Chains A and B, each alone.
Chain A
Amino acid sequence: MATESGTRDQSWFGDTGQISRLPGRVFAATCLGATLFAILTVFGLLVYVANDAFRPATADPRWHLVFFLTLVLPSLALFGYYVARGDGESWVAATALGIPFFGLLLGSGVLLLFIDVLSVVAWLAFVLAVLAAAVVIKSHRRIRPAPGFLEHLLVIVGSLGAVAPAVYFGVVNLPVVPTPWLIYLLTFGAAGAALAGLVVARRRSSDRAGLTAAALVFAAAAGGGLAVSAVGIEPEIWVVLFTFAGVPTALYVESVLRERERPVGLLFPLVVVVGILLGAFLVDTLGFAGPDSWLDYGFLTSADSRFPEEAGIYPALIGSILMMVVVAAASFPIGVGAALYLEEYAPNDGALGAIVKLVQINIGNLAGVPSIVYGLLGLALFVHWGGLRPGIVIVGGLTIGLLILPIIIIAAQEAIRAVPDSMREASYGMGATQWQTIRRVVLPEALPGILTGSILGFGRAIGETAPLLMIGAAATVYTPPNGFFDLFSAMPRQIYAWVGKPAHEFQYGVMAAGVVTLLVVLLSMNAAAILIRNKYQRRT
């Protein structure tokens, strides 16, 4: 090689341009352009809709200035600092802000359910019934540690079929029941306390610490309830929001502080909350008018109306939540079960294997079937054949559950496939049965992935409109559904109805507010999925 260098071109380092990078550069630029175009289009649309919904231009410019100074500037600066340090603080910040946010969202959803749908006493009865059944099963396990399968099954069926209903009806028919807020305290407050106790006991490997934490949480739930009722807020609001938002946040903050894992990230939610409060206080005392948004508290809490200013999305919001309960309850267990069967049990070869392959291919196809066809299917299956009333919550939920079933199956299958075979082999090698392997190794490992995929599927479900049209969901209802067998409307259906109204304010203002509400719910669900995935990805 060295001998030839004399006869070769003097410069070997490519400055004469014999090596062309041009096709690659053009290709990269085209890809980037296409991506940017797609993202910017969607983003532009979102900005446009958000502008219609909030109408920031109607606000006093000084209002904007105040919030810019108290909220936007400090949080941007802090976030920039996190990114500059690049040490993962931004994740701590996002999680610390996300947990209370989702907690509040979830807690509000639960509160709404209790206001409109569930009776508090029935809830208490249900909780006690489940507890009683669990106690029976557990104590049987303790007395007879290794029961036969039949005996075990008998106890489970017996406690669920006899003990639980007995307790339930006993409690429902009690002549005196505790006040609602005590019930909330005994169910949610106690559950939050138990959870906090377990987590802390585990983290610090000390039962004392766990007990203290549980006692503290319970005291906070009770004391806080009393305190807020003194200022005229209903104590059950406090108990529920505290359990769903306060407890998880406190647990997260505790873990970050104790392990010293980038605690600077915790500043972010503080800065945001203080910024909002301070800004609100300032504009209030200085008298700067905020924007005249279509999307405001009234929009979220009132029903539709002939007058755009009074129109709201509340009944459709409740309808969507109830429908999602049905969707999740119907599609999640079936989807995960189907995925488990296909991945773990189904034969791979032979005639049966061929059938399984066919099923597998068709699940892929089903995921792509147009949603209007599912609407038709739901109408045929649940209304004409099942004899249910068209347009009720359960019909909508089951139909859309069918629609996302293939999505959930595929997501769950992927998560299950991602569990390394070495884990399964280890389990079988220990003398575990297939069921034990699935229950103790495969499912726990795959669960974060299954949850992430399913939440994304639920996101698809909440925005579906065409099937709702097919099964006859009402365009507008003025009172939220009271149960799963009531007529309902859902957010996308209601939005569709608003677009059809002649008045300009409906077509632009109210509709935009509805779209933003829907998108916020959807994006929060997706963000939750990302948080779950991220948490478990970093663990392993």
Chain B
Amino acid sequence: MTQDNMTTSDSDADTENEPLVSPAPGSEAIDTDSKRRRTIHDETVVEARNLDVYYGDDQALRDIDIEIPKKQVTAMIGPSGCGKSTFLRCINRMNDLIDSCRVDGELYFEGKNVYDEDVDSVALRRRIGMVFQSPNPFPKSIYDNVAYGLRVQGKTQNMDEKVENALKGAALWDEVKDRLDESGLELSGGQQQRLCIARAIAVDPDVILMDEPASALDPVATSQIEDLIADLAEEYTVVIVTHNMQQAARISDKTAVFLTGGELVEFDETQKIFENPESQRVEDYITGKFG
């Protein structure tokens, strides 16, 4: 917090009349459309209504209402601890794995409340894939990593082809095609993260959740992942948590801003959030006045 304040107050003097977000190297101001040029359908696929989440007695999310559009990239930004990961993990019920976690309210996936009694969380996760903050490939071969989801879901026909397509989809095929039986752990960090993306898309889910997928990567690998996300949105709904404002601006169609206390303060077109946010708090957060 203090760190953030210090750095911004240093730079405030020079950037008084600059755009709200300092431009990424090599790009012009905020270019919300640099990697996304598609027609946009506004069909909702995930929808939260009055969603409250508690860890024991602590409330992590307050009264969240959001409609996440199909086949678009939705970014979630906000200060650390504001509940972005918690929200993401609510969508595919990964929070079920945490004993102390309790969810109130409704969360609809394709019109069905995923917290209904008759919803099997395993079936839900087969439709909603996830990529985690730090790359976590299995200590198995590259091939087996990608085939893992296919195997557990019983989609074992034409495996080789599916594995190849997934690796191509994750822009990793050319780098690994000659060493598919080497351990996934022998790849570099950026390659491992693309392997995890390949693993997630191999089973052809509807939604892909990404929790800071590039936070452990260098700029080159980050840029590769960003390109990939833009491509993924042709076919999948992508929900991505990021701490990197420029990244959110570059790759997302819609942006949700959470603020401390677990509130969803603003949710709108990315361009609008970054150029003309409704709320003063959001503007302060984006410009770095408030962390």
Contact = CB atoms under 8 A, between A and B. Distances in A.
Interface of A: 145-146, 202, 205, 347-349, 420, 422-433, 436, 440-441, 445, 540
A429 B122 contact: no
A202 B125 contact: no
Interface stretch (B16-24, B42-50, B111-119, B127-135): B127-135
B196 interface: yes
Contacts of A426: 132, 136-138, 196, 199
B152 A429 contact: no
A432 B122 contact: yes
Interface string B118-151: 0000110110011010101111000000001101
A441 B153 CA distance: 15
Contacts of A431: 122-123, 125-126, 129, 149, 152-153, 203
Contacts of B13: none
Contacts of A428: 94, 97, 122, 125
Nearest to B151: A440
B11 interface: no
Contacts of B137: 426
Contacts of B152: 427, 430-433, 436, 440
Nearest to A203: B181
A440 B148 contact: yes
Contact of A425 (B129, B136, B153, B200): B136
A348 B203 contact: no
A428 B152 CA distance: 10
A429 B129 contact: yes
Contacts of B185: 540
A436 to B, nearest CB: 5
A431 to B, nearest CB: 3
Interface of B: 92, 94, 97, 99-100, 122-123, 125-126, 129-130, 132, 134, 136-139, 148-149, 151-154, 156-157, 181, 185, 196, 199-200, 203
A347 B132 CA distance: 26
A425 B132 contact: yes
29 contacts: A145-B156, A145-B157, A146-B154, A205-B181, A422-B134, A422-B136, A423-B139, A424-B97, A425-B136, A426-B136, A426-B138, A426-B199, A427-B138, A428-B125, A429-B92, A429-B129, A429-B130, A430-B200, A431-B123, A431-B125, A431-B129, A431-B203, A432-B148, A433-B122, A433-B152, A436-B152, A440-B148, A440-B152, A441-B138
B91 to A, nearest CB: 11
Nearest to A353: B99
Contacts of A422: 132, 134, 136
A248 B217 CA distance: 41
Nearest 10 A-B pairs (CB), nearest first?
A431-B126, A429-B130, A430-B149, A422-B136, A432-B152, A431-B125, A146-B154, A426-B136, A436-B152, A348-B99
B148 A429 contact: no
A538 B256 CA distance: 44
Contacts of B92: 429
A13 B154 CA distance: 70
Contacts of A427: 138, 148, 152
A442 B137 CA distance: 13
Given A430-B200, A540-B185, A445 B139 contact: yes
Nearest to A540: B139
A147 to B, nearest CB: 10
B74 to A, nearest CB: 18
Contacts of B181: 202, 205
B132 A429 contact: yes
A316 to B, nearest CB: 42
Nearest to B183: A539
A348 to B, nearest CB: 5
A425 B125 contact: no
Contact of A349 (B99, B138, B148, B196): B99
A425 B134 contact: no
A477 to B, nearest CB: 47
Contacts of B156: 145-146
A529 to B, nearest CB: 21
Contacts of B130: 429
Q: B122, B123, B199: which has the most chain A beta carbons within 10 Å?
A: B122
Given A425-B136, A431-B123, 16 more contacts: A145-B154, A348-B99, A422-B132, A423-B136, A423-B138, A426-B132, A426-B138, A426-B199, A428-B94, A430-B125, A430-B129, A430-B199, A431-B153, A433-B122, A441-B138, A445-B139
B94 A429 contact: yes
A436 B153 CA distance: 10
A145 B155 CA distance: 9
Contacts of B200: 429-430
Nearest to B96: A428
B201 to A, nearest CB: 11
B195 to A, nearest CB: 11
Contacts of B126: 431
Contacts of B148: 427, 430, 432, 440
Nearest to A445: B139
Contacts of A436: 152
Nearest to A433: B122
A354 to B, nearest CB: 14
Nearest to A348: B99
Contacts of B129: 429-431
A208 to B, nearest CB: 16
Contacts of B203: 430-431
Contacts of A205: 181
A349 B148 CA distance: 32
Nearest to B181: A205
Nearest to A434: B122
Q: A205, A349, A430: which has the most chain B beta carbons within 10 Å?
A: A430
A532 to B, nearest CB: 16
A428 B203 CA distance: 13
Contacts of A440: 148, 151-152
A423 B99 CA distance: 18
A55 to B, nearest CB: 51
B90 to A, nearest CB: 14
Q: B100, B132, B134, B152: which has the most chain A beta carbons within 10 Å?
A: B152
Q: A146, A347, A431, A440: which has the most chain B beta carbons within 10 Å?
A: A431
Nearest to A436: B152
A441 B125 CA distance: 17
B134 A429 contact: no
Contacts of A433: 122, 152
Contacts of B139: 423, 445, 540
A475 to B, nearest CB: 50
Q: B130, B199, B203: which has the most chain A beta carbons within 10 Å?
A: B130
